[in-house]
Every structure is written in structure tokens, then in C-alpha cells.
Amino acid sequence: MEKFVKLIYDDKSFEFPLIKGSQNEKAIDIKNLRKETGLITLDPGYKNSGSCKSEITFLDGEKGVLKYRGYSIEDLAKKSSFLEVSYLLIFGNLPTKDQLSKFKTDIDNESIIDEDLKVILKSFPKSSHPMGILASLTSALTAFNPTALDIKSEDEMYKAIVMIMAKFPILCAWTQRKVKGLPLNYSDISISYIENITKMFFKKPNQEYRNNKIINSAIDKLLILHADHEQNCSTSTVRIVGSSYAGLFASISAGISALWGRLHGGANQAVIEMLENIKADGGDISRYLKKAKDKNDPFRLMGFGHRVYKNFDPRARIIKKTADEVLSKLGIDDPVLDIAKNLEKIALKDSYFVDRKLYPNVDFYSGIIYRALGIPTEMFTVMFALGRLPGWIAQWKEMRENFEPIGRPRQIFIGSVDRDYSSIETR
Ligand code: CMC
């Protein structure tokens, strides 16, 4: 039996349906709220607002649970590969051997980029931030691969997905190579999706590239952990941009810009910069904790806190363990890892962080691994984008296939009312 939530306003009683998710999450369906009552809801930052129903990712912030299509993040990080997880997120099920092999072959066939795109890349100064370059190149892809997609055509949808899965890693690698001043290279389709990514990123022009299993497996795991996170800022951006019928590449380019900010994906770069500053200050953690707690200081402890997790971010647990393993296997002793661990230990005992349920998030330890793998600090958020790609695709696809209406919030206007225009001479 359908349940309702009662709203009493102006002495009248209204009923709105109660919606339940498959994990018993509950929401009030307010689709008809304005029509029936004349009211809208006000929820800055959408802290209480669901924007869609989705079958892709579930997370329970109170319990620290994250699942893609019903599979736990712990299982996927341990047993799966990034390409397989991408398929799972985008198409809904883990692929069979044949499906995965076809997906890889189709991606391989699309893994070339129009040479003219290099002209655009060349015109960026080397000092440009990689996220700015990546957003521009991704948007420019549209010019070279027109994809006025017929949403009802499975073939066209598949082709667009394969194209972006093939071309995006090349753009990410080219962005790093541009920053490092290395020649731009192409995909090697004779090796796995991940091996090819690491080769494109790290191959030096004067020597053969030898695949490194430790690096490949670390990157594979990090990409899986970043692959989707339901309606976060960049994903919501991708969905809302796509809801105007902007194409897949344009929507993803917008998502990259949203991810760039320090409160979202840009936090991974900000964490390392913060840890480096603490190191340069002689390891004075307490000074930074004090700053983070001071309401008159805009500084926040980067890599801490989350809109949804009010418990450990399960991704952070896995990444912390992986950081230990990778550094030890590569024989790297990074003092910044010790600072990070100490900072976490002290913060988790501090009532400010305890009371507000602020725990390390996915970005707290990831930069330490990227750095150990030889990825420049400014490239960290590009790595996040590379991982988030299948999530953005899956969410865009779901939004278009469900024919969701254009995203267009309302507002409460609090500005001036009816002002008389005065000429510039009299102002
Ligand atoms: N350092 C110090 N205080 C914090 C922090 C922090 N990192 N995060 C939250 N708080 C405080 C905040 O000041 C507020 O205190 P009060 O209740 O006294 O006003 C309280 O905790 C609740 O915070 P909020 O700002 O209302 O929470 P939010 O859900 O709007 O923000 C957040 C979430 C992730 C933007 C925030 O925790 C933050 O700025 N963290 C640092 C940046 C970061 O690590 N971002 C990566 C997020 S995870 C990966 C991703 O999404 O890309």
C-alpha cells in the first residue's frame, strides 16, 4: 500500500507520496508540491534533496558502505579490473569474457585522436593547470567526433561510450606529457587497458617501456575506487548539463571543471600541498589543526570530511592500506605518509572532528600513492577524472534513458523590488 507524508500549511492538509529505495532509503516525492501548495523547498547545497532515482551506486554514509550495482567496493577493488568495473557501471552487469573482450577491441579501434587536437594542446602554456587543459580537450573532442546522439539507438549510445573510453585516457596522458615536456604518444592496443594507460603516461622517448606490475595494479585499484560515487558535485553537473541535451563529451567536460575544485576532486592535490607545508613547518600538526578549527580562518583540513560519509570513507581505508603496500614494494620512504598518519591519529581523537564526524576521505592518502608512482601533484585530479569517467558515462546514460526533465532549480528571490532607472549622470 502506498504511504503518504502529510503537510499542513495554511490550515489545509496535503499528502505527498513516500518513496522507498531498494535499501529502504526514504524520500518525500514533492513533484506536485508547488502545483498543489504554491510552495517550493529551499535546500542550499542540496543537503536533503534527491535529484533522481538511480540504479548505479549505493552508499550508506552512516555505516561507511559503498556498492557499485550491488557489488561491494572492497570486493571490486580486490578482485576486479577497472575496465570490468567500467562495463559494470555503464551497462549494469559484470561482463562475460566475450563481452569484455569485445568492449576492449571496440575501445582499441577508437583509440586514436585527430592530429589537429595536438594544435590545441600545443597552444596551452606549459604552466596551465592540467584540469583546465583536460576540460578543454574533452570539449574539443566534440568538434572532431560529432556525436549528435540518437538516444533511442543502442548502437549510437554504445559507439559514443566506446569513443570516450578510448580517447579520454589518451587526453589524460597527453596532458601529463605536455606538463612534463614529453612527446605525445599513442595507445598500444596490444596490451591491457591499464597497461596501455601507464605506458602512455610514463614511456620515455629514449628507452623501451617496461610494464611494472606494482604500478599497474595500484593505478587499476585507484581508478576502481574513484569510478563512481552517486550524485556528487561533478556527477550532478554531468547529469544537469546533459539534461539540456548537451552531448556526452560536452557534459563530461563540464564534470571535469566541477571536479577541479578543492572541495571536490581538487582535494587530492590540496592534501599533498598541505602535508608538504606541515613538513616544511617542521611537522607542526597542531598548528594546522588549530587553523582548521578556527571559524575565522578559511583553512580546512584537506582530505577530511564528507557530505555523505559520517563514518570512515570505505575508499580511504583501502587506499591507506594500498599506500603502505605500494611504498614498501617500490622501496620508497615518504615522510609525508608518516605526517598524514599522525595527522589522522590526532584529528580522530580531537573533539572538533569527533563531534562533527569528520573522517579521512578518498583524497587523504591517494596523492601519496600517485606521487610514489611519479605523477606530478597537479596531475592528481586528472587521475581522479580518469577514474570517474565510467561513473559520469553511466549516470549520463541513465539520465538520458530515463528521459529526465531538464535540471532547473527554483529560487527564493531576496533582491530589490521595483527600482526606478536613473541615467548615469544622476547616479
Ligand atoms: N576541516 C575543518 N572543518 C571541517 C572540515 C574540514 N575538512 N569539513 C567539514 N568541517 C566542519 C565545518 O566547518 C562544519 O562545522 P560547523 O558545523 O561548526 O559549521 C561541519 O564540519 C560540517 O561541514 P560542512 O561544510 O557543513 O559539510 P559539507 O557536507 O558541506 O562539506 C566537504 C563537505 C567535503 C566539502 C567538507 O568536509 C570539506 O571541505 N572537506 C575538505 C575538502 C575535501 O577533503 N574534499 C574532498 C571530499 S571527498 C572526495 C570528493 O568528493 O571529491
User: How many whole angstroms separate alpha carbon 25 and alpha carbon 369?
Assistant: 35
Residue 306 annotated in active site = yes
User: How many whole angstroms separate alpha carbon 311 and alpha carbon 51?
Assistant: 23
User: How many whole angstroms separate alpha carbon 392 and alpha carbon 77?
Assistant: 19
Ligand 1 center to 107 CA (angstroms)? 38
Task: Give the Cβ contact number of residue 296 at 10 Å.
Answer: 5
Report which protein residue has its CA nearest ligand 1's atom 30: 307
Pocket, ligand 1, Cβ cutoff 6 A: 45, 232, 263-265, 267, 292, 300-307, 356, 358, 361-363
Backbone angles phi, psi at 16, to 5 degrees: -125, 140
Ligand 1 binding pocket mutation candidate from 225, 306, 392 (most atoms within 8 A of CB): 306
Ligand 1 center to 359 CA (angstroms)? 10
The number of angstroms, rounded, from the C-alpha of 79 to the middle of its chain's C-alpha atoms is 22
Residues 6+ apart with CB under 8 A from 297: 291
Residue appearing with cell numbers 576532486: 265
Q: Which atom of ligand 1 approaches the CA of 295 most closely?
A: 13
Residues 6+ apart with CB under 8 A from 251: 237, 238, 239, 241, 242, 392, 396
Q: Show the cell assigned to 308.
A: 555523505
pLDDT recorded at residue 366: 94
pLDDT recorded at residue 147: 63
Is the Cα dihedral 84, 87, 93, 96 positive or negative?
negative
pLDDT recorded at residue 410: 97
pLDDT recorded at residue 142: 87
Q: Which atom of ligand 1 approaches the CA of 304 most closely?
A: 7
SS3 20: strand
Backbone angles phi, psi at 205, to 5 degrees: -70, -15
CB 364 within 8 A of CB 306: no
Give the active site residue among 129, 229, 306, 313.
306
Report which protein residue has its CA nearest ligand 1's atom 46: 264
User: How many whole angstroms separate alpha carbon 42 and alpha carbon 158?
Assistant: 38
**Closest among 90, 25, 116 to 62, alpha carbons compared:** 25
Provide the β-strand partners of residue 17: 4
User: How many whole angstroms separate alpha carbon 229 and alpha carbon 235?
Assistant: 8
SS3 152: coil
Residue type for position 118 = K
Ligand 1 center to 287 CA (angstroms)? 19
Report which protein residue has its CA nearest ligand 1's atom 8: 305
Backbone angles phi, psi at 183, to 5 degrees: -65, 150
Residue appearing with cell numbers 529551499: 42
CB 75 within 8 A of CB 105: no
Q: What angle do CA 53, 309, 60 make, to 5 degrees?
A: 45
pLDDT tens track of the chain, all 427 residues? 679 999 999 999 999 999 999 999 999 999 999 999 999 999 999 999 999 999 999 999 999 999 999 999 999 999 999 999 999 999 999 999 999 999 999 999 999 999 999 999 999 998 899 999 999 999 999 888 766 778 888 899 999 999 999 999 999 999 999 999 999 998 999 999 999 999 999 999 999 999 999 999 999 999 999 999 999 999 999 999 999 999 999 999 999 999 999 999 999 999 999 999 999 999 899 999 999 999 999 999 999 999 999 988 999 999 999 999 999 999 999 899 899 999 999 999 999 999 999 999 999 999 999 999 999 999 999 999 999 999 999 999 999 999 999 999 999 999 999 999 999 999 9
User: How many whole angstroms separate alpha carbon 245 and alpha carbon 404?
Assistant: 10
Polymer length in residues for the chain: 427
pLDDT recorded at residue 151: 81
Residues 6+ apart with CB under 8 A from 207: none
Residue appearing with cell numbers 504554491: 38
User: How many whole angstroms separate alpha carbon 402 and alpha carbon 394?
Assistant: 12
**Closest among 9, 13, 52, 45 to 29, alpha carbons compared:** 52
Complete DSSP assignment for 393-422: HHHHHHHHHTTPPPP-------S--SPPP-
Q: Which atom of ligand 1 approaches the CA of 259 most closely?
A: 52
Q: Which atom of ligand 1 approaches the CA of 292 most closely?
A: 2
